[in-house]
Structure 1
Amino acid sequence: MQADWSLMRDRQFARLFCARTASMGGSAFAPIALSFGVLHLPGGDAETLSYVLTAESVPMIAFLLFGGVIADRFPRQRVMMVGEFCSAIAFGSLAFLLMTGDPPLWLLCVAAAFSGIGIAIMSPALTGIIPEVLKPHQLQSGNALLALGANTARIAGLVFAGGIVALVGGAWALVGASLLFATSGVVVSGLRGTADRRGSSSGSTLGDLKQGWREFSSRQWIWVVVLQFSFLVMLFQACFGVLGPVLSDTELGGAGPWAWVLTGDAIGMVLGVFIALRVRPKRPIFVGVLMTALATPPFLALGLGAPLWIVVVLAVVMGAAFDLFGVLWNTSLQRLVPAEALSRVAAYDAFGSLMFGPLGLLLAGHAVVWWGARESMIGASLLMLLAVGAALLSPEVRRLRAPEYEPVPVMVTAAD
């Protein structure tokens, strides 16, 4: 399967591509800028960083289901626009607070909370808008091309963010993130023709949530993988949000080496796009879940004190595996879940996957104090592997076939 670059001639898809790419650039600036900006504040430490990141994660999780409801009711283009501008305002506020030199922790937490709300509003709408822009046979290519743009922006964002943090501090990197989110909001505001589905709504938020839950819970392959990711994301949040930056700051030399690890992950995601453009596995969910096992090696290597270049190479492999999973997962959702409920199912997916994330952030800061950063990283990586094995016990995860590989039913007529 070759990349369908002709999709870029479609003005709707090209606009969505540009908006998604700018948004991911902002998302790449934010983690490094915020993590090292907080760590370098007077009195900043692992526990302070845990509180700020938790303040971002909790509202994001709390608003995800509401974001899915409004994205299934209203034009998804408008919902995405609101989410991007909310993120722009939040990161601009965080930048201003860090520039003051010694902001109150509660103000940092409030600003971080608004960034989480922006993500919660935007994310379900993005999943749902793609099938409105593309035809069914274009979905895998379209998802892969969107991932290519996003991951390229992620690499550039990580490289520039690490440099800006090292040269002038995290606050100015957060200014860059704010401008990129605002750019995405402006670009997506010109997207036209997305559906208004208020006529298909049950009339109440609770009723819409119940309908979405029926679509979500009736498919074992969805809820099992989401349950797996609820534990994976908890461990990722601990490793990426706290343990990794702390290890980098204390043992590897600061923001620069950690930016290289994140950049390796992003480069792997770009490579994963080209794999996703060329493979159509018969059992996409089984293949995707197997790929998530490759999250363990880079964190294990980091915990064991491996040289930085080995960690970066393993991060490349991890990025490629997770991008392939992401394309296969999103394409399966978009093809097998009814369009009118897709954003709500995506919201339940995100809600379930992220629900233990704040716990990981909170525990990570304490784990550094209790056991040490290296020991905590090793333990987290081994728990990731256990979560993958548990998901593979599900029959639907192992056996679900892509629609094109489903056997064609034989029609029997009276003449036969």
Structure 2
Amino acid sequence: MGWSVRLRAAGAPLAVRPYRLHFAARMLSWTGSGVSSIGLAFAVLYIGGGPTGLGLVLAAGIAPQILLLLVGGVVADRWSRARVMVWTNAVSALAEAAAAVLLFTGSAQVWHLVAMATVCGAASAFFTPAAGGVVVEVVPAEMRHAANALLKLGQNTVKVAGPALGGVLVAVVGPGWVIGWDALTFAAAALLCARMGLGPARAKIRAGFVADLREGWTDFRSRRWLWVMVLQGSVVVPVWLVGYQILGPVYGERVLGGPELWGVVVSGFTAGLLAGAAVALVWKPRLVGVVVCLSTGCMSLPLAAMGARAPLPVLVSAVVVAGAGLAVSMTAWSGLVQERIPADRLSRVLSWSTLGQLVPVPAGYLAAGPLAGMFGVRRVLAAGAVVVAVAVVVPLLMRQVRALTLAPSPVLPAEELATAPR
């Protein structure tokens, strides 16, 4: 296949109007998220919360997702996914706006940010399975890999400069501004989602809520490759989030010297995500199980670099490689799940999958501060690197995981690309 055909096929999903609106809404929201992660971390540190306070805030964002994700999956399979995305974006906008006002006035306390994170986490529990099912609903099967890669590329393009900008904004004007910007982007995303025009789920609802929930669980547990890879994620995800979101900013403050240089590190990670998404846009791997595992293993590199107190250029290089690996892994994984799970059960299966990876995260967040105080930040980071490396290798010992493949995409003739549904 020539490069001109590859590039034309890669952009084909943008010809579909609901996908364009979905893409634009996600891009807007990501412009806020790109800076707000830095703003939230240093907001907690600046008001005296420390690593333990930051762990509480981050845990508060995860806990509602654990409690409500399964409900969100059923709701997304039953009702209009676009409408679910409208309301969840609107709720998040209101919560972030309230937190920004408290920070502007100097009256914010840790519990205020915990409350904001709780509301946004609850909204995310409904948004995540709804958004995960939109691609299957609005683009044909032959465009799904490109649609997933475009979303990942768009996300990382918008966010690549966000963390560095967030670090500068926090240092110059304070974290309230970056959280306020996030609120505005949530509101704009809600307006775009309202124009997608998607109706209720096409599947016929033949049973009640509990039966729908049970059907999603049955589909999930019947696929050994799926729950094994989710178990891998249940180890890698909390270890990575603890090391990167909690201990990383602490490392940046104590070792690198402040939010500006830590913002550079985070920008290196998003630059890697951008590079990996660009690769995924034109490369669809066949041995997706092997690619997902090996790409995920790159996430051990930044933890190891911080544990060894490597020079800043080495740390930035490590996060670039980790970001690239994660982008390739996530794009390939999304395509595999969308290919193998029926569309009318996709949101429910995704909710079970996401839940399995999130359950251990709050415990990790809450343990991060005490562990760092007991053993030291760098030792905890080094131990995390070892855990990630081991968790990546174990699934590859299974033949079923090594044999996971994606079906090759058919080459669309030029006339079909030009007449894609709008």
TM-score, L = length of structure 2: 0.92
| Residues 165, 263 of structure 2: 8 Å contact kept | no
How far residue 74 of structure 1 moved from its aligned partner, in angstroms, is 0.4
CA distance in 1, matches of 2:318, 2:86: 36
Q: Work out whether residues 240 and 299 of structure 2, in 8 Å CA contact, stay in contact via their aligned partners in 1.
A: no
2:266 aligned residue (255, 262, 275): 262
Matches within 5 A, 1:165-184: 165-184=170-189
**Which residue number in structure 2 is paired with residue 408 of structure 1?**
none
What residue number does 2:318 align with? 314
Aligned residue for 2:106, secondary structure, equals coil
Question: Contact 1:298 / 1:315 at 8 angstroms: preserved in 2?
Answer: yes
Alignment CA distance shift 1:244-1:44 (3 Å): same
2:102 counterpart of 1:90: no
Paired with 2:129 and 2:148, the residues of 1 have a C-alpha distance of 15
Counterpart contact for 2:44–2:110, Cα < 8 Å: no
User: Equivalent residue for 1:17?
Assistant: 23
Distance (whole Å) between structure 1 residues aligned to residue 126 and residue 98 of structure 2? 19
* Residues 280, 306 of structure 1: alpha-carbon distance in 2 compared, 3 angstrom cutoff: same
CA contact (8 A) 2:306 2:381 kept: yes
Residue 349 of structure 2, aligned match among 339, 345, 362: 345
Matches within 5 A, 1:12-91: 12-41=18-47, 43-91=48-96
Match of 1:250 in 2: 254
Q: Tell me how far 1:202 sits from its aligned partner.
A: 4.3
1:334 is matched by which residue type in structure 2?
Q
**1:87-126 matches, cutoff 5 A:** 87-126=92-131
CA shift, 1:277, in A, is 2.0
Give 1:400 shift.
Answer: 1.8
* Structure 1 residue 241, shift from structure 2 partner: 1.9
Cα distance, 1:10 vs structure 2: 2.5
What code does the residue aligned with 1:275 have? V
Matched, 1:285 2:289: yes
Task: Provide, for residues 79-137 of structure 1, a one-character-per-residue CA deviation record: whole Å limited to 9, x for no partner.
Answer: 11112112212221222232342434333211210011121111111110101111101
- State the distance in 2 between where 1:341 and 1:93 align: 36
User: Is contact 2:273-2:320 (8 Å) kept?
Assistant: yes
Answer whether contact 1:85 1:118 (CA < 8 A) is retained: no
Cα separation, 1, equivalents of 2:395 and 2:32:
32
**Partner amino acid, structure 2, of 1:374:** R
Show the counterpart of 1:160.
Answer: 165
1:192 to 197, 200, 203: 197
Gaps of 5+ in 2: 410-422
The CA deviation string for residues 261-289 of structure 1, in whole angstroms up to 9 with x for no partner, is 11111111111122112222222122111
The CA distance in 2 between the partners of 1:308 and 1:231, in whole Å, is 27
Give me the CA root mean square deviation: 1.6
Q: Do 1:76 and 1:195's aligned partners in 2 also have CA atoms closer than 8 Å?
A: yes
Q: Find the residue that maps to 1:277 and give its secondary structure.
A: helix
The aligned runs of 1:319-338 (5 Å cut-off) are: 319-338=323-342
Question: Which residue in 2 is equivalent to 1:389?
Answer: 393
CA contact (8 A) 1:12 1:191 kept: yes
Cα distance in 1 for residues equivalent to 2:34 and 2:71: 25
In 2, are the aligned partners of 1:25 and 1:156 still within 8 Å (CA)?
Answer: no
Counterpart in the other structure of 2:360? 356
Aligned residues: 403
What CA deviation, in whole Å up to 9, does each residue of 1:288-315 have, x standing for no partner?
Answer: 1111111111110111111112111111
Identity of aligned residues (%): 34
Equivalent residue of 2:228, what SS? helix
Greater Cα shift, 223-232 or 88-97: 88-97
| Equivalent residue number for residue 215 of structure 2 | 211
Instruction: Single out whichever of 389-398 and 315-324 deviates more from structure 2.
Output: 389-398
What letter is aligned with 1:361?
Y
User: 1:230-245 counterparts in 2 under 5 A?
Assistant: 230-245=234-249
- Once residues 71 and 314 of structure 1 are traced to their aligned partners in structure 2, the CA distance between those partners, rounded to angstroms, is 37
In structure 1, what is the equivalent of residue 307 of structure 2?
303
Structure 1 residue runs of 5 or longer lacking an equivalent are 406-416
**Aligned-pair distance for 1:7?**
2.7
CA distance in 1 between partners of 2:109 and 2:300 (Å): 36
Q: Distance in 2 between matches of 1:140 and 1:117?
A: 29
Partner of 1:410: none
Give 1:17 shift.
Answer: 1.0
**Offset of 1:223 from its aligned partner?**
0.7
- Mapped contact 2:12–2:143 kept (Cα < 8 A): no
8 Å CA contact retained: 1:94, 1:112: no
- 7, 15, 27: which one pairs with 2:13? 7
Distance in 1, Cα, partners of 2:240 & 2:209? 31
C-alpha separation in 1, matches of 2:359 and 2:212 = 20
Separation in structure 2 between the aligned mates of residue 10 and residue 338 of structure 1, nearest angstrom: 22
Q: Which amino acid aligns with 1:18?
A: A
Shift of 1:61: 1.8
Q: Is the 8 A contact 2:62 2:361 kept in 1?
A: yes
Q: Secondary structure at the match of 1:191?
A: coil
AA in 2 matched with 1:35: A
**Letter of the aligned partner of 2:101 in structure 1?**
F
Cα pair 2:32 2:178 within 8 Å, conserved: no
Query: Superposed, which structure 2 residues align to 1:134-145 within 5 Å?
Result: 134-145=139-150
* 1:305 partner SS: coil
- Which string of whole-angstrom CA distances, capped at 9 and with x for unpartnered residues, describes residues 311-366 of structure 1? 11111111111101111111111111000000011111111111111111111111
CA distance in 2, matches of 1:286, 1:133: 29
Partner residue of 2:404 out of 378, 383, 400: 400
